[in-house]
Amino acid sequence: MEQTSGNPHIHRDDEASKIGMWLFIFTEMLLFGGLFIVYSIYRYLHPVAFELAADELDVLVGTANTVILLVSSMTIAMSVTAMQKGNKKLTLALLGATLFLALAFLVNKYFEWGSKISYGLYPGSERLHEFGHGDTLFFGLYYFMTGLHALHIIIGVVIISAVMYRVHKEMVHPTKYALLENTGLYWHLVDLIWIFLFPLFYLVT
């Protein structure tokens, strides 16, 4: 990290960083909130098309990804507890598990999108055009919202890797682990957004 030119001592306030993180999570929720508004308006305008389009999605893959994210939320929460207990090895193992699950989610997503695309269901495709406006909007929202969510997962992967490195180097340790806690909060947010996306796209038919 770059050093500050000037400030000889950076003042440390874990409570402040936690409030900051909560505020950031709040803005993220509003970001997705805008999309949920768009979703509900178009669903209201095209109820039948949205129902039929939702049938095209693979509930099994969606459920698998939901389970994966829920478990990963658990592992990262446990890593914070392990850190509080001073168990560095276990912390790293649990963070590693979270990382693995995040990657599994992305692999799943890759195959899911791939099969949709090979079937000709992607923005601007001939097939969607034949299906009509409702389906076009449904799949437009599907790719945009799950894509934005997947982007958050990728960012999470980068952050978790960075935290693992810092735990390994003991820059994050049992008396200074606000970074780990905030990463956990971020990951729960990613999980939470998925909990809304999953029923809206896969289950509500």
Nearest residue (CB) to other proteins, 124 versus 169: 124
Nearest residue (CB) to other proteins, 134 versus 184: 134
Beta carbon of residue 138, minimum distance to other proteins (angstroms, whole number) = 10
Query: Please, are residues 190 and 198 in contact by the beta-carbon 8 Å criterion?
Result: no
Beta carbon of residue 126, minimum distance to other proteins (angstroms, whole number) = 12
Nearest residue (CB) to other proteins, 20 versus 86: 20
3-state SS class at 176: strand
Beta carbon of residue 128, minimum distance to other proteins (angstroms, whole number) = 9
Q: How far apart are CA 164 and CA 99, in angstroms?
A: 10
Q: Closest Cα to residue 61, out of 118, 104, 119, 98? A: 104
Nearest residue (CB) to other proteins, 67 versus 117: 117
Beta carbon of residue 151, minimum distance to other proteins (angstroms, whole number) = 10
Orientation angle between helical segments 59-84 and 88-118, nearest 10 degrees: 160
Nearest residue (CB) to other proteins, 78 versus 131: 131
Beta carbon of residue 26, minimum distance to other proteins (angstroms, whole number) = 7
Largest Cα span, the chain = 65
Residues forming a β-bridge with 173: 176
3-state SS class at 169: coil
For other proteins, the binding residues (CB under 8 A) are: 1-7, 10-11, 13, 15-17, 19-20, 23-24, 26-28, 30-35, 37-38, 41-42, 46, 123-124, 132-134, 136-137, 140-141, 143-144, 148
Residues 6+ apart with CB under 8 A from 159: 183, 186
